[in-house]
């Protein structure tokens, strides 16, 4: 397995473009199951989660071909309804095939989802929503087994202990698109990725109102057609690059970064001492690397995203003063603390919060990425650490970032991929 060797890099300068959003494309790929006609999706990032979803679709009998950033999905008259453990266990987002399979085929057998070990995030909201639409659901031997003689519109409440669920909102919205009658989703997730899915469904012929708000209204239709759609830019990749520039210093323009998707990130980086300029379809980030402590709480959109929590903690580790970071989405998502502390950070966990006492400099060390976003955090820490850092667990990074080390290298970062085995 490959590893990355990261050296203290100095200021980052230049212009880069972000890829399409991984968290948007996966449910949109699943939504293609709702039609018998082919769909074409562009701006698709070449990350392993996309390839995993392609394998899941092929296992159902669906054609899936990726050429550069253009993905063609050909459902035809697929008959498969089983998404097996060996594929679904790789990522949580694979559970989003459940709603489309139920709506189109009337039954589904989907393994309980896996992915990064970032703490409990039950799928009870998915099951609650689909049961409200008339599905019969049980869990046997690690599989979700669901069936229906016909889904019917209903009022669905999707508020949970940790806020609204993006994937549950998507699953119910997809299933309701082919259900008889009207569905009202209350306490729906408002994330840009949910809006992107809704826009794709609208292009397919769905009747949806209220996307991006807490209440979504869906009027079921008899059939959906194939569609063409361009995926929105990845706000998490953009945010990761913004934090990298804030930490290392420099002047970088990030094409594709949408200010309306990154308001909370812009606010906190500005508070920490970076300068962020909103351009037409881009953000320009400038920093001298001298940062000050901030307080951050992760929240559903438009709050600070949980997928940037680890990266922000790396920034806090080298900011002057004492920062406080509270995780409201995944309270156990702190696996990266021990690895950052190995590099000389001073981070103490207190329940769902982390107290971060900034240090003058981190020290390079051998570290292991425990999950996708932690891999990015450790890379950013390596950019400002003395000596060099060796990062194992690069496969986690590849699930959601397309060539992150190459993107940073183009800006002046000193990162080398070392082949192993």
CATH of the domain at 336: 3.65.10.10
Average pLDDT over residues 257-276: 98
84 and 216 inside one domain: yes
32 and 165 inside one domain: yes
46 and 97 inside one domain: yes
Identify whether the C-beta of residue 151 lies closer than 8 Å to the C-beta of residue 179.
yes
Q: For residue range 116-136, what is the model confidence (pLDDT) as tens digits?
A: 444 444 688 999 999 999 999
Give CA torsion, residues 170, 175, 176, 180, to 10 deg. Answer: 180
Identify the pLDDT of residue 92.
79
pLDDT band at 252 (very low <50, low <70, confident <90, very high): very high
Is residue 275 scored above 50 in pLDDT? yes
Identify the pLDDT of residue 421.
64
189 and 256 inside one domain: no
CA distances from 2 to 255, 400, 420, 421 (A): 29, 16, 5, 8
Is residue 22 scored above 90 in pLDDT? yes
How many Å apart are CA 258 and CA 130, to the nearest integer?
A: 33
3 state DSSP class of 214: coil
Closest Cα partner for 284 from 12, 3, 69, 34?
A: 12
Identify the pLDDT of residue 263.
98
Q: What's the structural domain count of the chain?
A: 2
Last residue of a domain, one of 225, 256, 285: 225
User: Within 13 Å, how many C-alpha atoms sit on residue 198's CB side?
Assistant: 25
Last residue of a domain, one of 197, 225, 253: 225
Percent of the chain with pLDDT over 90: 89
Identify the pLDDT of residue 118.
41
Last residue of a domain, one of 225, 246, 273: 225
253 and 213 inside one domain: no
289: left (phi over 0), alpha (psi -120 to 50) or beta: left
Closest Cα partner for 41 from 204, 195, 154?
A: 204
Average pLDDT over residues 34-52: 97
Is the peptide bond between 302 and the residue preceding it cis, with omega within 30 degrees of 0?
Answer: yes
Identify whether the C-beta of residue 212 lies closer than 8 Å to the C-beta of residue 195.
yes
Identify the pLDDT of residue 285.
98
Average pLDDT over residues 334-348: 97
Identify the pLDDT of residue 112.
85
203 and 249 inside one domain: no
- b (16+ CB within 10 A) / e for 319-338: beeebebbbbbbbebbbbbe
Identify whether the C-beta of residue 112 lies closer than 8 Å to the C-beta of residue 87.
no
63 and 102 inside one domain: yes
414 and 289 inside one domain: yes
Identify the pLDDT of residue 300.
94
Count other C-beta atoms under 10 Å from residue 137's C-beta. 17
Q: For residue range 352-362, what is the model confidence (pLDDT) as tens digits?
A: 999 999 999 99
Q: For residue range 202-231, what is the model confidence (pLDDT) as tens digits?
A: 999 999 999 999 999 999 999 999 999 999
Q: For residue range 309-323, what is the model confidence (pLDDT) as tens digits?
A: 999 999 999 999 999
Percent of the chain with pLDDT over 70: 97
211 and 273 inside one domain: no
Is residue 162 scored above 80 in pLDDT? no
220 and 296 inside one domain: no
Identify the pLDDT of residue 160.
78
Average pLDDT over residues 410-420: 93
Q: For residue range 143-158, what is the model confidence (pLDDT) as tens digits?
A: 999 999 999 999 999 9
Q: For residue range 77-103, what is the model confidence (pLDDT) as tens digits?
A: 899 999 998 888 888 788 999 999 999
Is residue 331 scored above 80 in pLDDT? yes
Q: For residue range 10-20, what is the model confidence (pLDDT) as tens digits?
A: 999 999 999 99
248 and 397 inside one domain: yes
28 and 13 inside one domain: no
Domain span including residue 325: 3-18+233-418
Burial grade of 10 (CB within 10 A; 0-12, 13-18, 19 or more): middle
| Residues catalogued as catalytic | 116
Identify the pLDDT of residue 124.
87
Three-state SS annotation for 154-188: CEEECCCCCCCCHHHHHHHHHHHHCCECEEEEECC
pLDDT band at 161 (very low <50, low <70, confident <90, very high): confident
Q: What is the mean pLDDT of the chain?
A: 95
């Amino acid at each position: 397995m490959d590893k990355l060797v990261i050296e203290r890099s100095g200021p980052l300068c230049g212009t880069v473009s972000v890829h399409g959003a991984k968290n948007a494309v996966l449910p949109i790929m699943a939504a293609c199951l709702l039609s018998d006609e082919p769909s074409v999706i562009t701006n698709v990032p070449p990350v392993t989660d996309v390839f995993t979803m392609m394998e899941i679709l092929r296992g159902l009998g669906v054609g899936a071909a990726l050429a550069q950033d253009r993905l063609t999905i050909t459902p035809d008259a697929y008959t498969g309804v089983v998404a097996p453990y060996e594929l679904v266990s790789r990522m949580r987002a694979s559970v989003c095939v459940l709603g489309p399979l139920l709506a189109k085929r009337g039954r589904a057998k989907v393994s309980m989802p896996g992915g990064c070990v970032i703490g409990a995030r039950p799928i009870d909201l998915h099951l609650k929503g689909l049961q409200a639409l008339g599905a019969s659901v049980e869990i046997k031997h690690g599989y979700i087994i669901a069936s229906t003689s016909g889904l019917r519109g209903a009022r669905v409440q999707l508020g949970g202990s940790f806020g609204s669920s993006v994937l549950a909102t998507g699953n119910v919205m997809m299933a309701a698109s082919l259900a008889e009658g009207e569905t009202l989703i209350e306490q729906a997730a408002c994330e840009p990725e949910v809006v992107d899915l809704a826009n794709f469904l609208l292009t397919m012929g769905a009747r949806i109102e209220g996307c991006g708000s807490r209440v979504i209204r869906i009027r079921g239709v008899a059939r959906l057609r194939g569609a063409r759609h361009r995926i929105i830019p990845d706000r998490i990749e953009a945010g990761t690059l913004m934090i990298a520039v804030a930490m290392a210093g420099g002047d970088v323009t990030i094409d594709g970064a949408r200010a309306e998707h990154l308001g909370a990130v812009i606010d906190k980086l500005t508070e920490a001492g970076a300068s962020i300029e909103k351009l037409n379809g881009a953000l320009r980030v400038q920093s001298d690397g001298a940062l000050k402590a901030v307080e951050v709480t992760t929240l559903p959109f438009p709050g600070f995203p949980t997928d940037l929590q680890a990266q922000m903690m790396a920034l806090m580790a080298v900011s002057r003063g004492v920062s406080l970071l509270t995780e409201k989405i995944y309270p156990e998502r702190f696996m990266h603390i021990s690895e950052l502390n190995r590099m000389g950070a001073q981070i103490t966990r207190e329940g769902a919060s982390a107290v971060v006492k900034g240090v003058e400099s981190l020290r390079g060390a051998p570290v292991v990425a425990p999950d996708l976003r932690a891999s990015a955090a450790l890379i950013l820490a390596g950019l400002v650490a003395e000596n060099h850092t060796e990062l194992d667990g690069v496969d986690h990074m590849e699930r959601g970032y397309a060539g992150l080390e190459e993107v940073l290298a183009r800006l002046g970062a000193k990162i080398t991929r070392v082949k192993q085995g």
